[in-house]
A and B are shown apart, each in its own frame.
Chain A
Amino acid sequence: MATIGHQIVFWIIAVVMTVAAVAVVTARNVVHAALYLVGALMSAAALYILLLAQFVAWVQVLVYVGAIVVLMLFGLMLTNAPIGRASLDNNQRFLAAVTAGVLFLVTSFIMVRAFEGQSIDLVREQGTLTESVGEVIFSAYVLPFEVVSVLLLAALVGAIVIAKRD
């Protein structure tokens, strides 16, 4: 079976994602932090492909890497922030690390206990699920879909009104 291959790919993705995410929250240069975020988001997209969710993976690449990171870079460059640890991080780093560590231990303990012994079938024969995703969006979830489009319009108008000069 292809399970060994899946394991190797999963561990590569996990290591790349963890390193990139840690670099996002510890980088001393703000532009480097945004570029490390690209690594974390791309490895999330690779994880979606591993989980047979191709459509979500490409939407992730298009919307996150294509639009959100570019917006973030614009935000960073328009607000020329000083570079250096003293001005980027506050003095509660240790407390924040303890909080994050406890949160990780508690949530992963609960998750592992709750889903013990359940495994994902990654070699399904029925091919891609993209067709079913489209069918579900435009049948059961058509109203939330339209509401999301109105939300995006409202966010567009709101962002222009907030950021424009009077």
Chain B
Amino acid sequence: MPVSYFLVLSALLFSIGVYGVLARQNAVLVLLSIELMLNAVNINLVAFSALLGQTGVPGQVFALFVIAVAAAEVGIGLAIVILIFRNRQSVDVEEMSLMKW
């Protein structure tokens, strides 16, 4: 099966994630879109791993590391979002302009 099928599908998933990050206003939905982008990267890694066969096994290991780091990122990100909600009663990314001059 041509490897470009998987690469184009992952590019599509990444672009949908980029659209979500740019167009969403709710901080938790921005985090959801970031998860889509991380998944697109993982699909690429696993597809290249399958392309290389036995020598491509480190590609799967990289995908596992990406999943672990994504779990850590979601934990910290949601903690920050909940803290902001507690202080400002809003998770609107447009209103988080306190550090902008």
- On A, residues with C-beta under 8 Å from B are 3, 6-7, 10, 14, 17-18, 21-22, 24-25, 30, 33-34, 37, 40-41, 44, 47-48, 51-53, 55-56, 59-60, 63-64, 67-68, 71-72, 74-76, 78-79, 81, 87-90, 92-93, 95-97, 99-101, 103-104, 107-108, 111-112, 115-122, 124, 126, 129, 132-133, 136-137, 140-141, 144, 148, 151-152, 154-156, 158-160, 162-163
Whether A89 pairs with B24 at a CB distance below 8 angstroms is yes
Q: How large is the interface on B (under 10, 10 to 19, 20 to 34, 35 or more residues)?
A: 35 or more
Is A88 a contact partner of B46 (Cβ separation < 8 A)? Answer: no
Say whether, besides A56-B46, A59-B67, A104 and B35 are in contact (CB < 8 Å). no
The answer to the question of B3 belonging to the interface, with a C-beta cut-off of 8 Å to chain A, is yes
Contact B76 A75 (CB under 8 A): no
B76 touches A51 (CB 8 A): no
Q: Is the interface of B mostly helix, strand, loop or mixed?
A: helix
Are A90 and B23 in contact, with the CB atoms below 8 A?
yes
Q: Is the CB of A21 within 8 A of B85?
A: no
Q: A44-B43, A88-B29, A112-B7 are in contact. Are A64 and B67 (CB under 8 A)?
A: yes
Q: Kindly provide the distance from the CB of B72 to the nearest chain A CB, expressed in whole angstroms.
A: 4
